[in-house]
Structure 1
Amino acid sequence: MSTAANPPDLSIHRAGHTATVEMCRPPHNFFDLALISALAEAFESLQADPACRAIVLAAQGRSFCAGADFSSPTPAAGERRDPGELYRQAIRLFAVTKPVIAAVQGPAVGGGLGLALVADFRVACAEARFSANFARLGFHPGFALSHTLPRLVGAQQAALLLYTGRRIDGAEALRIGLVDELAPQDQMRERAQALAEEIAISAPIAVESTRASLRAGLVEAVRAAVEREAGEQRQHFQTQDFREGVAAMAQRRDPVFGRH
């Protein structure tokens, strides 16, 4: 196994015809523009490498990715108020032509769930948790989930998850088709890598062309989705409901929303 020169907050390992891109912001791997841009650059670099035939997206720490960090006043706060550029970088992830397998060892929440849905397949464990918790925080879903979630689990299940913001475990995620395989937590990364290796055995020109057929129109649909999502979020971030949602999350209580 070889290790490429790694950008900040990412680790890239190659083994045969597969590569593992690991997010290194434990414990929760909160993302910002810098991390999503780095992921896009890593994916595009691997796309340009004919020796790489499949990518595993993994993470250190307790969470796969808890989305944006709304609890801390940092310079990234401006990005949260105007997510347009971050979502433009996310489109680059969807545009990569190599198959991607997400290894989800813990919570994938909010935009972190959106990131997991960039992948073609998700291997998870019973301890994983999945939540599109945007409505609980008082704003419109993002990271293309308004398109990718119903595409994956159907309109009815997607509406249920998006309207309630409920958190489901790995077994429920498997039942509704949100993940493709469950493995014990200590074996989950290896199972994701084994799936990548199984894909890599197939002819790469056949895999990539088949993938292009199956995902025809996806990038364009994602681009339209994130443009609408970002516009809705900019408005919602100005409301009392958003302030209440963030406060309730920090205080670990149910939010009390009104119309604003």
Structure 2
Amino acid sequence: MASTEVLLDRPCDGVAVITFNRPEQMNAVRPSTVSAFIDVISSVSGDIATRAVILTGAGRGFCSGMDLSARAEFPPQDVPQATEWMRELFRGAVAWSELPQPTIAAINGPAIGGGFGFALASDIRIASPQARFAATFVKIAMGPDAGLSHTLPRVVGHAKALELLLTADTVDADEALELGIVSKVSADPMAAAITLAQRFAAVPEHVSRRIKATLQRSASADLPTAISEIEVSAQAEHYCHPEFFANAGRWLNAHA
């Protein structure tokens, strides 16, 4: 039986929408949510017809991170056991970050704690005016998770990331746009995300996936390696695909 905690919808060709569906809990995640999320991701990851994936939340919130009300599911306060439990809990964030398709977060409301992490693990983020972002971990004497220690400094810089993590300050949609946390603020972030996803879906599947992979590999490489190894390898794959000469011929005819 399919879980109701994470929904999968296909609003148009080539586009999948994944929705955290625990609106009464502001879409907080618990182990069962993670399992359902991973199942949905697995179903779209290898589907070549799915060329862009959108993540959002049901109701007023995007995701409020770990469900602190589910204490019965928490592990003992033993470091090895807690480590394994948390590694399992955040497999969903890893799976989302590893999706080969371009991903878009349609942030309809608060993205708090691990929910902030899910947002920043997305390739592109579009927020509603009601969106709020906060790394509230210090309020419960915890540190960052869901990848925020990696993604937040890359987006806002080390100093601002440390400030946000130690103060737990809330960032509204306009400040998030200024900081680069989101690329757009829209009254209807889902409509904006679908419009952008449709443009991504028009790109050949092997091209969009390889461009994303090239960016990910180049992010941890020096410039000469990016040019002479990573990009060259990807371009050779593009060049040897039948669509290259077919598209090149159409482009030349259109610009003759």
Mark the CA change 1:42 to 1:217 in structure 2 (over 3 Å): closer, same or farther: farther
Residue 42 of structure 2 is matched in structure 1 by 44
SS at match of 2:23: coil
1:81-96 matches, cutoff 5 A: 82-96=85-99
Residue 245 of structure 1 is matched in structure 2 by none
For residues 195 and 167 of structure 1, what CA distance do their matches in structure 2 show? 27
2:20 to 11, 14, 23: 23
Q: Any unmatched runs of 5+ in structure 1?
A: 220-260
On the 8 A contact 2:8/2:16 being kept in 1, the answer is yes
**AA of the residue aligned to 2:210:** S
1:125-164 matches, cutoff 5 A: 125-164=128-167
1:11 to 7, 10, 14: 7
For residues 181 and 73 of structure 2, what CA distance do their matches in structure 1 show? 29
For residues 31 and 134 of structure 1, what CA distance do their matches in structure 2 show? 15
Residue 65 of structure 1 is matched in structure 2 by 63
Q: Any unmatched runs of 5+ in structure 2?
A: 221-256
Percent of aligned pairs with the same amino acid: 33
Mark the CA change 1:143 to 1:218 in structure 2 (over 3 Å): closer, same or farther: farther
On the 8 A contact 1:17/1:53 being kept in 2, the answer is yes
Residue 209 (structure 2) pairs with residue 208 (structure 1): yes
SS at match of 1:75: helix
- More RCO (CA 8 Å, sep 6+): 1
How far is 1:120 from its partner? 0.4
* C-alpha distance after superposition, 1:13-45 (max 9, x if no partner): 112110111111003001012212221221221
How far is 1:8 from its partner? 2.7
Detail structure 1 runs of 4+ shifted over 3 Å in the superposition: 79-82
Which structure: greater helix fraction?
2
Larger radius of gyration: 2
Residue 229 of structure 1 is matched in structure 2 by none
**AA of the residue aligned to 1:194:** T
1:76 to 59, 73, 82: 73
Residue 236 of structure 1 is matched in structure 2 by none
For residues 160 and 21 of structure 1, what CA distance do their matches in structure 2 show? 31
How far is 1:88 from its partner? 3.3
1:211-250 matches, cutoff 5 A: 211-216=212-217
On the 8 A contact 1:33/1:79 being kept in 2, the answer is no
On the 8 A contact 1:79/1:86 being kept in 2, the answer is no
Residue 124 of structure 1 is matched in structure 2 by 127
How far is 1:218 from its partner? 7.8
**AA of the residue aligned to 1:16:** D
For residues 211 and 134 of structure 1, what CA distance do their matches in structure 2 show? 30
1:166 to 169, 186, 192: 169
* C-alpha distance after superposition, 1:83-122 (max 9, x if no partner): 1211234322222101111111110000111111221011
SS at match of 1:216: helix
On the 8 A contact 1:6/1:12 being kept in 2, the answer is no
How far is 1:175 from its partner? 0.4
Mark the CA change 1:89 to 1:123 in structure 2 (over 3 Å): closer, same or farther: closer
Mark the CA change 1:218 to 1:92 in structure 2 (over 3 Å): closer, same or farther: farther
1:183 to 167, 181, 186: 186
TM-score normalised per structure 2: 0.77
For residues 89 and 195 of structure 1, what CA distance do their matches in structure 2 show? 24
How far is 1:6 from its partner? 4.7
How far is 1:183 from its partner? 0.5
